[in-house]
A = this chain, B = another copy of it.
Amino acid sequence: MPQGQPSVVPDDSLTTRQRRNRPLLLVHTGDGKGKSTAAFGLALRGWNQGFRIGVFQFVKSAKWRIGEQTVLERLGDLHTETGEGGPVEWHKMGSGWSWSRKAGSDADHAQAAAEGWTEIKRRLAAESHQLYILDEFTYPINWGWVDIDDVVETLTNRPGHQHVVITGRRADPKLTEIADLVTEMQKIKHPMDAGQKGQRGIEW
């Protein structure tokens, strides 16, 4: 674990405090396990620091519910009840976004993805959250449902101090170009390659 010491000191005339406080864009990509789990692990740190957290899952099925959602929403409730940590909002594309409550499982996924991104842009402009997790967001970008140039411009010019984490395979080079941190989760070995099924507590 990096202990907070940079390997070089840049000639950018910023103070240590300024460099410490820059908002980050993090990208977790690659074909290995751990991209989303690491993002939600980071949400724990953020919650503990009192960050306002917004999770936006670009998943096709709203039925796909992972344990992290239950726990992070529980932590959000705890914030409401006791003031501990920060507030948590969790939205899934699935059959329409939580804020639009549009019914129907035959929703147009491309349109839903575009609507999700439009809402995220509104929130970034309003500085609604301090940590955004755009889970599996590389897919709608790669499928052309969300315009990569718009994403790059919006994220580059986002106001205030808002961290953003994007997960998913095959991150667009334009995205990794503007990211502060990119980790490639590389699959060395996976139980499913040995024919093993996913299981509770591990995959969900």
**Chain A contacts to B: CB under 8 angstroms:** 1-10, 12, 16, 19-22, 24, 26, 28-30, 32-42, 44-49, 51, 64, 66-68, 70-72, 74-75, 78, 84-85, 130-131, 136, 163, 176, 179-204
Contact = CB atoms under 8 A, between A and B. Distances in A.
Given A28-B34, A180-B189, A201-B131, A84 B74 contact: yes
A73 to B, nearest CB: 11
Q: How many copies does the complex hold?
A: 2
24 contacts: A2-B192, A2-B198, A3-B64, A5-B192, A6-B194, A6-B195, A7-B193, A22-B196, A24-B202, A32-B183, A33-B38, A37-B41, A38-B38, A38-B185, A44-B72, A45-B68, A45-B200, A46-B201, A49-B200, A49-B201, A131-B201, A180-B189, A180-B194, A182-B188
